[in-house]
Amino acid sequence: MHPKASVFEETYHYYLKQIGRLDLIARAEPLGALFESGMLSIKLFNSTYKVGENGVFDQKGQKPNFAISVVLARYILQCPSSVDNEGQWVTYREFKDASPLVGYFTANTNKIIEDTFACNLAGLEKSCHKLGGTTCDMGINFDLSIKFRALPRIPVILTFNDRDESFPAQATVLFRQSAEYYLDMECLCILGTLLAGKLVSGKD
């Protein structure tokens, strides 16, 4: 087994033990989830998963990869008692604990989107809409600005300027400041990687 996968698996099983001690009903509303048959039903991008002490399962009853499972479990475990406001839109690097992972986030999120969709703006827009993204106005001119609901309480915006004769393509992923109350920095980094991967896999 790949060392990273092994770490995810160990973390996943540790998180499940902790989830087994929680009152999941009380966490449903703060997380924007539904409590059904002893489990929380949570939407991650355009897919719904059920999470409980016995594991994480997709709509077909299959176990997703450990990265997805860890993000969903952490989302439940880190549930804040309350969040007064969502705060400003910020880049990943602006979170105070993000610095060790900024390079990884840039390479596996922004750069992948830039390299894949440079000179293919229509393809990116189509892939974004397949993933449930909606066009939004940031008050600044971008070739494309799309908002996603990564998790019920974690909206994400992707802005994209296509390559031209003067500048390379540039993709930026923005989170609300409140995202750090729901996930740690590694899991927010995974969300970015998931976004990039889903956009690439949805490309025609």
Residue 82 within a domain: no
Q: Which residues of 105-116 are buried (b: 16+ CB within 10 A; e: fewer)?
A: bbebbbebbbeb
pLDDT interval class at 192 (50, 70, 90): very high
Is the pLDDT reported for residue 165 higher than 90? Answer: no
Predicted pLDDT at 103: 97
Predicted pLDDT at 15: 95
93-137 pLDDT, tens digit per residue, is 999 999 999 999 999 999 999 999 999 999 999 999 999 999 998
Predicted pLDDT at 145: 96
Is the pLDDT reported for residue 141 higher than 90? Answer: no
Q: How far apart are CA 77 and CA 53, in angstroms?
A: 12
Overall number of domains in the chain: 2
103 & 67 share domain:
no
Q: How far apart are CA 52 and CA 102, in angstroms?
A: 31
72 & 101 share domain:
no
Predicted pLDDT at 83: 84
Residue 30 within a domain: yes
Q: Does pTM top 0.85 for this prediction? A: yes
44-60 pLDDT, tens digit per residue, is 999 999 999 999 999 99
119 & 156 share domain:
yes
For residue 128, the enclosing domain spans 89-201
